[in-house]
Amino acid sequence: MTRALTKDEKIRFHDYFVNLNVDKAVVSGEATTDYNCIAWTVGITNAWIWPGSTIGDFDKFYKTKGYTRTTDSNSPIAAWGYAENKMTHGSVSGKDHGP
Q: Is the pLDDT of residue 99 over 60?
A: no
Q: How would you classify the pairing of strands 86-92 and 3-4?
A: unpaired
79 belongs to a structural domain: yes
60 belongs to a structural domain: yes
**Total residues found in the chain within this entry:** 99
Indicate the number of domains in the chain: 1
pLDDT band at 98 (very low <50, low <70, confident <90, very high): low
99 belongs to a structural domain: no
pLDDT number for residue 97: 63
Question: For residue 86, what are the domain limits?
Answer: 3-92
83 belongs to a structural domain: yes
Shortest CA distance to 21 belongs to which of 73, 88, 83, 96?
73
Q: pLDDT by residue (tens digit) across 39-92?
A: 999 999 999 999 999 999 999 999 999 999 988 777 889 898 889 999 999 988
97 belongs to a structural domain: no
31 belongs to a structural domain: yes
Q: How far apart are CA 79 and CA 11, in angstroms?
A: 20
